[in-house]
Amino acid sequence: MKMNRRQFLLSGMAFAASGILMACEEYASQTLPPSESNPLSGTSKDDNQTETGVPGTEEGTPGESDGFVHAAPFDLVNGNVLLNNGIEMPILGLGTFNLSTREAQTSVTNALNSGMRLIDTAAAYNNETGVGAGIKAAGVPRDQFFVTTKLWPSNYNMNGIDAALRNLDLDYIDLLLLHQPSGDYIGGYKAMEQAVADGKVRAIGLSNFSTSQFDEVVAAASILPAVHQVETHLHNQQAGMQRYIDQYGTLLEGWFPFGGRTNCQTFFNLPEVQEIAAGHGKSPAQTIIRWHLQSGHITIPGSRNADHIQENTQVFDFELTEEEMSVLNALNRNAAFFPGLGVTDEEAQERMQQWANEWGLNIN
């Protein structure tokens, strides 16, 4: 029987992942025992795109179910998950969007010293050198932390990958993503695949792609995306996107976990969040992070505040009930704050320039 490219990739993935999933299967039924320990301190549109080009704001529908390679379940005891290529990734980390180079350095050092082991940055944030300096200052052994960065469309090539390595002052990048569905993203994805073969990158994925764009990449890929990073919060829960990419064993990673700095207080003050947080003796931020993790979202809250960074790590000593999860799930509006790239190349270029002006992004 002949197999198409998608079936071929999935069949190979199924064989490679079968042992991984068997090893992780026990996590699916585990409940979190009460503990004061912090696992982070261990050694270790088409279907989904609206007219405005915002990915994942509507329900997605998976295709045929036969041959799916489902994403691995989260280990909520040790705070990690196995990617679809067998690499272990922390499920909670620090986001560095909108941090200056100096702020990124300080926050990364604080995060690593607090036990976080996942750091997220991007070429467009213009702070990769600060992230690298923060890593060096913390002195954590290289095999005990995980770095994600993202290529901007103007550098979807090996030069962009090599520049990220130089800026971060690292020998390899743990997870490399294409930041936006613009430019030659097929060529960019192939460059990332070559970087994996060259030992420069351990895992690759996408960010802000619609389901149709995701499928376009998969059709040309020899390595399936390990992670898809999209705007994910209580008002934009991405259940449809999460179900859709699950067929490829791809995990969802959420940015804006609190709705962004301009919306976080609104989320923190929601009566439902306040009541659930009080019941567990936790802060609203910790409650929302725990909701993300129990929902299967890798999450990367950002902060300049050392106390807030430390607070964000203390989410593995309690568990939300099914009823509490349902209450928070009911807050979904399929509403994104981020406008997306639009539906034409002209709109995309205009919006990217707008972001550069507004947020100081490096889009060159």
HEC sequence for 129-158 = HHHHHHHHHHCCCHHHCEEEEEECHHHCCH
Answer yes or no: is 173 within a domain: yes
Answer yes or no: is 61 within a domain: no
| pLDDT for 359 | 63
Q: Are 240 and 61 spatial neighbours (Cβ–Cβ below 8 Å)?
A: yes
**In the chain, % of residues over pLDDT 90:** 70
| pLDDT for 27 | 29
Q: What is the mean pLDDT of residues 6-10?
A: 53
Q: For 106-132, give one letter per residue: b (16+ CB within 10 A) or e.
A: bbbbbbbbbbbbbbbbbbbbbbbbbbb
Q: What is the mean pLDDT of residues 282-303?
A: 97
Answer yes or no: is 335 within a domain: yes
- Find all residues with CB under 8 Å of 79, minimum gap 6, and list them: 39, 40, 42, 90, 91, 92, 316
Containing structural domain, residue 338: 5-24+67-359
| pLDDT for 163 | 98
**In the chain, % of residues over pLDDT 70:** 76
Query: Rounded distance, CA 341 to CA 362, Å?
Result: 16
Q: What is the mean pLDDT of residues 229-237?
A: 96
Number of independent structural domains in the chain: 1
Q: Which of 125, 185, 189, 244 is catalytic?
A: 125
Answer yes or no: is 58 within a domain: no
| pLDDT for 348 | 67
Q: What is the DSSP string of 208-256?
A: S--HHHHHHHHHH-SS--SEEEEE-BTTB--HHHHHHHHTTTPEEEEES
Q: Is 248 a catalytic residue?
A: no
Answer yes or no: is 47 within a domain: no
Answer yes or no: is 268 within a domain: yes
| pLDDT for 283 | 98
Given a cut of 70, whether residue 13 has pLDDT beyond it is no
| pLDDT for 350 | 75
Q: How confident is the model at residue 59 (pLDDT cuts 50, 70, 90)?
A: very low
CATH code, 117: 3.20.20.100
Answer yes or no: is 57 within a domain: no
Token readout for 39 is 């696992």
| pLDDT for 34 | 32
The whole model's pTM is what?
A: 0.82
Q: What is the mean pLDDT of residues 314-328?
A: 98
| pLDDT for 44 | 33
Q: Which residues pair with 150 in a beta bridge?
A: 177
Q: How confident is the model at residue 339 (pLDDT cuts 50, 70, 90)?
A: low
Answer yes or no: is 206 within a domain: yes
